[in-house]
Chain A
Amino acid sequence: SQTIHQWPATLVQPVGSPLSLECTVEGTSNPNLYWYRQAAGRGLQLLFYSVGIGQISSEVPQNLSASRPQDRQFILSSKKLLLSDSGFYLCAWSVRRGRTGELFFGEGSRLTVL
Chain B
Amino acid sequence: TQLLEQSPQFLSIQEGENLTVYCNSSSVFSSLQWYRQEPGEGPVLLVTVVTGGEVKKLKRLTFQFGDARKDSSLHITAAQPGDTGLYLCAGARVSQGNLIFGKGTKLSVKP
Contacts and interface: CB of A to CB of B under 8 A. Distances in A.
Interface of A: 34, 41-44, 46, 49, 59, 90, 92, 99-108, 110
Given A43-B88, A49-B97, A102-B48, 4 more contacts: A42-B106, A100-B31, A100-B50, A106-B42
A99 B45 contact: no
B42 A107 contact: yes
A43 B43 contact: no
A42 B31 contact: no
B92 interface: yes
Nearest to A36: B101
Nearest to A88: B40
Given A42-B104, A46-B98, A49-B98, A101 B40 contact: no
A34 B98 CA distance: 10
A105 B33 contact: no
B111 interface: no
A43 B101 contact: yes
Interface residues of B, number: 25
Contact of B90 (A49, A103, A108): A103
B102 A100 contact: no
A44 B42 CA distance: 11
A49 B45 CA distance: 19
B54 to A, nearest CB: 12
B42 A92 contact: yes
**Which 6 A-B residue pairs are closest in the complex by CB-CB distance?**
A105-B42, A43-B103, A100-B31, A101-B92, A44-B101, A108-B42
A108 B41 contact: yes
Contacts of A104: 45
Contacts of A106: 42
A78 B17 CA distance: 46
Contacts of B39: 41
Contacts of B48: 100, 102
Interface string B78-111: 0000000010101010000111011110100000
A43 B102 contact: yes
